Amino acid sequence: MNANLVGGVTMRYADLPPQAPGDHLPVLLLHGFGTNFEMNWSAAGWPRALDAEGRRVIGPDLRGHGASDKPTDSGLYLPEHFVNDLLGLLDDLGVERVDVVGYSMGSRLAWELALTAPERLRRAVLGGFGPGDALAGVDAADPGAGDTPFDHVYRTVAALPGNDTEALAACVRGQAARPFQEEPRPVGVPMLLVSGARDTVAEGAAGLAERCGGSFVEIPGRDHANAVSSRVFKQAAVGFLDD
């Protein structure tokens, strides 16, 4: 399905009702940089795991990604534009409140969503995300050219079929223009942070969780690329959302 959102940008999304509906809020799944709903979530088995809990899944392809529009103006990738996209999508669907699960960039956007509209979120799970600036040391004019953890991520996703490198580079510049700031912190939205033990991008996640009054789960042996498919991650998220 498609939704026409901020500034005429069209966002593609999946809306998956459970086979046996339960008495739960929908779950909004926000993918990471350079991926999409299918690659980040469906291929890793998340809709199936949430369906087993009677959960409706709403999974957008964020602007610049997947089947959504891919503008090349970096100003269109500021975090507030992503947040407005998500709020517009929920409004279009008539969904007042959700639980949210993000990964990597999707976790940053879940944090921003919790800051902007905490009344729309019940709980948030942030995977592959820590307090550091993920783009520190990255040349925004030439992402992927360096040797930072994010440069390695960029080179990997830029080579994936269907990705538009101009749009991805614009997204990097837009995100770099608004570096993550830990304060102010979201209020009234309980959080679970999850990261792989070998995930250098999410370094410091445990401390961030503690400072937010949240919980933290570490996935043994996993790094930034493969933590999202971990059964430990799914079980931790489902358990947290069911509390």
> What are the tokens at 219?
């996935």
β-bridge mates for residue 216, sequence order? 193
For residue 2, name the pLDDT band (cuts at 50, 70, 90). confident
Considering its fold, how many domains does the chain have in total? Answer: 1
CA separation for the pair 199, 88 (Å, rounded): 32
Cβ(117)–Cβ(91) under 8 Å? no
Domain extent, residue 37, equals 2-242
Q: For residue 73, give the nearest of 11, 5, 164, 195 by alpha carbon.
A: 164
Extended strands (E) in 39-114:
57-60, 98-103
CATH number at residue 106: 3.40.50.1820
For residues 7-24, average pLDDT: 91
| pLDDT tens by residue, 155-178 | 999 999 999 999 999 999 999 999
Give the pLDDT score at 5. Answer: 78
CA-to-CA distance for 34 and 121, rounded, in angstroms? 25
Q: Which residues are 98's β-sheet partners?
A: 121
Determine the average pLDDT of the residues in 213-220: 98
pLDDT in tens, 70-116: 999 999 999 999 999 999 999 999 999 999 999 999 999 999 999 99
pLDDT for residue 23: 87
